[in-house]
Amino acid sequence: MHKINVLAFGSSNFNTSLEELKDHLNFKLTTIERNIDLKLFEDYDVLFCHEDFVKEESSLEILKNSNKIKILAFSSNNIKSDIFTDKINLPTSIKDINFVIENSIIKKNFSKNSSIKIKNYILDKNEKKLINGKDYILLTEKEIQLLELFLSYKKPINKNTILSQVWKYSEDADTHTVETHIYRLRKKIKSKFVDENFILNNKSGYLL
pLDDT digits (tens, 9 = 90+) for 20-36: 999 999 999 999 998 89
More confident residue, 112 or 105: 105
Q: Count of residues for the chain?
A: 208
Averaged pLDDT score across all residues of the chain: 90
H or E element, residue 126: none
pTM for this entry: 0.59
Q: Give the pLDDT mean for 103-110.
A: 85
Same fold, 5-113 and 116-207: no
CATH class of this structure's domain 5-113: alpha beta
187-191, long-range: CB within 8 Å, 24+ apart, which pairs? 188/137, 189/130, 189/137
Q: For residues 142 and 184, what is the distance between their CA atoms, to the nearest angstrom?
A: 11
Q: Which helix (H) or strand (E) holds 10?
A: none
CATH number of 116-207, picked from 3.40.50.2300, 3.40.50.720, 2.60.40.2550, 1.10.10.10: 1.10.10.10
pLDDT of residue 172: 66
Give residue-wise pLDDT tens across range 193-202.
999 999 999 9
Q: How far is CA 56 from the centre of its chain?
A: 30
29-53 burial string, b = 16+ CB within 10 Å, else e? Answer: bbbeeeebeeebbeebbbbbbbbbb
Burial of 139 (0-12, 13-18, 19+ CB in 10 A): buried
- Residues 6+ positions from 45 with CB-CB distance below 8 Å: 4, 5, 6, 68, 69, 105
Per-domain boundaries in the chain: 5-113, 116-207
Q: Where are the alpha helices (DSSP H) in the chain?
A: 12-20, 38-41, 57-64, 94-113, 141-152, 159-162, 175-193
Could you report the per-residue pLDDT of 149-181, keeping only the tens digit for each?
998 887 899 998 998 888 876 656 788 889 999
